Amino acid sequence: MSTPIVSLHGLSPVPRPAEYLPAEPATAARFDASRAALGDRLGLSKLGVNVTAVKPGKAAYPFHSHRANDELFLILAGRGELRLGDQRHAVKEGYLIGCPAGNAGSAHQLINTGSGELRYLAISTQVEPEICEYPDAGKIGDYCGDDASGIAHFSRSAESLGYWDGE
């Protein structure tokens, strides 16, 4: 059952499920996040909404861009750094950040550079299918549908196939 009102005070973000944790120790050392999903609780089907909590020295997600979806972040607590394209910006409580859909030049990532938890409200459109670029790793991710029956496919942009390959 959804409700039109949720208090951000007292939310308890939950850690990523084990199947979504990085397997490599070096990667796990850089990424960690807990989230409180709010979109479904609010009855929203076209907006994704969550509160994300990130430990010091970590980022929730790799540096990435979206071809279909816009994202908006409101820093609720802590300090961090926004990587946006080839620029870096210090951010802190009260900052509102827009990350529009685009290409690798609009890639973004929030990193906790403070000594306490970085907590932010994340809002995004929910357009599918979605294609994300991961410039640091040279990857492309294609997404459509939910975790149970959807498609999530990753490839390296340097290893692309031609349209007629294998036909």
- Spell out the per-residue pLDDT of the chain, length 167, in tens: 688 999 999 899 999 999 889 999 999 999 999 999 999 999 999 999 999 999 999 999 999 999 999 999 999 999 999 999 999 999 999 999 999 999 999 999 999 999 999 999 999 999 999 999 999 999 999 999 877 789 999 999 888 778 778 89
Q: How far apart are CA 46 and CA 69, in angstroms?
A: 11
In this prediction the pTM is: 0.93
Q: Are 124 and 69 in contact (CB under 8 A)?
A: yes
Q: Residue 159's pLDDT is what?
A: 83
CATH number of 28-128: 2.60.120.10
Helix (H) or strand (E) holding 76: strand 71-77
Q: Residue 53's pLDDT is what?
A: 98
The distance of Cα 84 from the centroid of its chain, to the nearest Å, equals 13
Three-point CA angle 99, 141, 122, nearest 5°: 30
Q: Residue 165's pLDDT is what?
A: 86
Q: Residue 149's pLDDT is what?
A: 85
For 140, the token pair is: 């492309």
Q: Residue 51's pLDDT is what?
A: 98
Q: How far apart are CA 125 and CA 46, in angstroms?
A: 6
Q: Residue 141's pLDDT is what?
A: 94
Q: Are 93 and 76 in contact (CB under 8 A)?
A: yes
Q: What are phi and psi of 61, to 5 degrees?
A: -140, 155
Q: Are 127 and 136 in contact (CB under 8 A)?
A: no
Q: How far apart are CA 96 and CA 21, in angstroms?
A: 28
